Amino acid sequence: MVIVDTSIWVDFLKGRESAGATHLEQLLDDEVDVFTSGIIVQELLTGIKEKKTRNEVKKDLGLFITVMPSLGTHVQAAEIYDGCRKKGITIRSIVDCLIAALAIEYDLTVLQSDRDYVGISQVYPLKLETYE
């Protein structure tokens, strides 16, 4: 079971030949449970200029299992950010902390290509599939 980070979705949706997008395509072909979250959908839709394309992507993403953060998830995301900082690891995006908190909470592997997750995984029990 994986939650797919925005960067992998962007490559996949744009048809870019990247290892992460190829792996996502394989997961979908194998009918692996793929998860998303409201914040990932928000990030993706924010980057799409054309309304028609945005509506198509919104519809397609609605087919995946959506996990939503609780107040406790947000608190955990803040703890992740602070815990990494105390270990000398700078996390550039608090959104990545939220996605990491969701992944830990739901026992999901993060399919990603973002160094923030690598830093988080050095401090917290975050499972990763890393593609650059």
Over residues 34-70, the pLDDT tens digits come to: 999 999 999 999 989 999 999 999 999 999 999 999 9
pTM of the model: 0.93
Q: How far apart are CA 124 and CA 102, in angstroms?
A: 12
Other C-beta atoms lying within 10 Å of the C-beta of residue 36 = 22
Structural domains in the chain, sorted by start: 2-130 (3.40.50.1010)
The DSSP letter of residue 126 is -
Averaged confidence pLDDT in the chain:
95
- pLDDT one-digit tens code per residue, 62-87: 999 999 999 999 999 999 999 999 99
**Rama region for 31: left / alpha / beta (φ>0; ψ in -120 to 50; rest):** left
User: Cβ(9)–Cβ(21) under 8 Å?
Assistant: no
SS3 131: coil
Mean pLDDT calculated for residue range 84-98: 97
